[in-house]
Structure 1
Amino acid sequence: MFFGQFGLIKLNMEKRVLVLNMDHSPVAVVTVQKAFVLIFLEKASCLTYYESLTIRTVSMSYSYPAVVRLNEYKNIPFRGVLLNRVNLFRRDKGECQYCGSKKNLTIDHVIPKSKGGKTNWTNLITACNRCNVTKGDKTPEQSGMMLRSKPFKPSLAYFLAEYAERQAEEWLPFLTVKAY
């Protein structure tokens, strides 16, 4: 934001920029300001732009970057997706994995802890309170309840592709989605 002739003006810079490593693996999502710094310092190259957006200065107009690739490979230690309530609900699209309801959601162990079930990506699902109580301390097979989809461990690319489908279609060709 800055003060212009007509008062406070908000710059249109809310779109994010996908940063890829030299091998095209996703590294981060940054602001357009950070992307411009990477490009200006020749640490990154722009691979694609947002078609309808430009950034204008007094004397120049720049294309708005959508995806940039680092010019040197950076060894970034693998930091898988954090297993937490928010990410679990995002993976399951905010729906009960038994009936599809979007109300009164909880977390359910597919194989109950009392039967040796672990607290991990492949054993946790989103379930509505009604289905969770109905299933109780049984496996889905024992309770006669079918899962709508098999639980999996999502990758960073999975969540980035989900975001891209809603906010940044320009990213999609650069994201190969794998459910590890």
Structure 2
Amino acid sequence: MRTLVLNAGFEPLAVVTFRRALALVLNGKATIVEIVEDDPVWGIGVRFDRPSVIVLTRYVKIPYGRLVPVTRRGVLRRDAHRCGYCGQAASTIDHVVPRSRGGEDSWENLVACCLRCNSVKGNRTPAEMGWRLGVTPRMPFGPSWAVRGLERTVPAWEQYLAPAVAA
């Protein structure tokens, strides 16, 4: 069970486990905004509502100049799990400029790729293959990328994430 954590100004901050969210609420560091209906947690003689969204009682300053770290999961998410060459479902990533030719592990050099295109391309550049990239690889930006742990959303979170996703 996951819980969305909002800053005191209601900006999305992170997604945490239910246990961490309950600890924040019980210690007075957060309040519950939304609960998961019909799924309480029982302690010894105590019933706790399972939080779906909580808001911190104090504002936490976040550095906005923070770079998004390059990860395989992040590249697939940025490219919507679609191959940068043929547009089919992608499960791997590919270096546009191969590492053996000086290509780096950077947002600008990595694209999501299907197994077929990755195997055919091998150690060549798209220009050598006569291929064109369907996307322009770049570092993702916006508040939705600053929310730690947000890979899939819950419908109850949409109203809190809408400004972040639209940016």
TM norm structure 2: 0.71
Q: Which residue of 1 aligns with 2:68?
A: 81
Does residue 152 of structure 2 align to residue 163 of structure 1? yes
Deviations 1:99-125 (A, max 9, x none): 23447734132x7789x9875324421
Indicate if the aligned counterparts of 1:95 and 1:105 stay in contact, CA closer than 8 A: no
Match of 2:58 among 60, 72, 80: 72
Distance 1:74 1:108 in 2: 37
Does residue 6 of structure 2 align to residue 20 of structure 1? yes
**Match of 1:136, as an amino acid?**
R
Greater RCO (Cα-Cα under 8 Å, separation 6 or more): 2
Q: Secondary structure at the match of 2:59?
A: coil
Q: Which residue of 1 aligns with 2:84?
A: 97
Q: Which residue of 2 aligns with 1:177?
A: 165
Indicate if the aligned counterparts of 1:94 and 1:102 stay in contact, CA closer than 8 A: yes
Indicate if the aligned counterparts of 2:33 and 2:53 stay in contact, CA closer than 8 A: yes
Distance 1:55 1:80 in 2: 38
- Pick the structure with greater CA Rg: 1
Indicate if the aligned counterparts of 1:135 and 1:143 stay in contact, CA closer than 8 A: no
Q: Which residue of 1 aligns with 2:19?
A: 33
Distance 1:173 1:55 in 2: 25
How many residues align structurally?
Answer: 158
Does residue 49 of structure 2 align to residue 63 of structure 1? yes
Structure 2, gaps ≥5 residues long:
none
Q: Secondary structure at the match of 2:51?
A: strand
Seen in structure 2, the aligned counterparts of structure 1 residues 82 and 129 have a Cα distance that, compared at 3 Å, is same
Distance 2:88 2:109 in 1: 19
**Match of 2:146, as an amino acid?**
L
Q: Which residue of 2 aligns with 1:10?
A: none
Structure 1, gaps ≥5 residues long:
1-14
Q: Determine what percentage of the aligned residue pairs are the same residue.
A: 32
Q: CA deviation at 1:80?
A: 3.6
Q: Which residue of 2 aligns with 1:3?
A: none
Does residue 31 of structure 2 align to residue 45 of structure 1? yes
1:113-132 residue pairs with structure 2 within 5 A? Answer: 120-128=106-114, 130-132=116-118
Distance 2:32 2:99 in 1: 48
Indicate if the aligned counterparts of 1:49 and 1:170 stay in contact, CA closer than 8 A: no
Indicate if the aligned counterparts of 1:54 and 1:64 stay in contact, CA closer than 8 A: yes
Q: Secondary structure at the match of 1:163?
A: coil
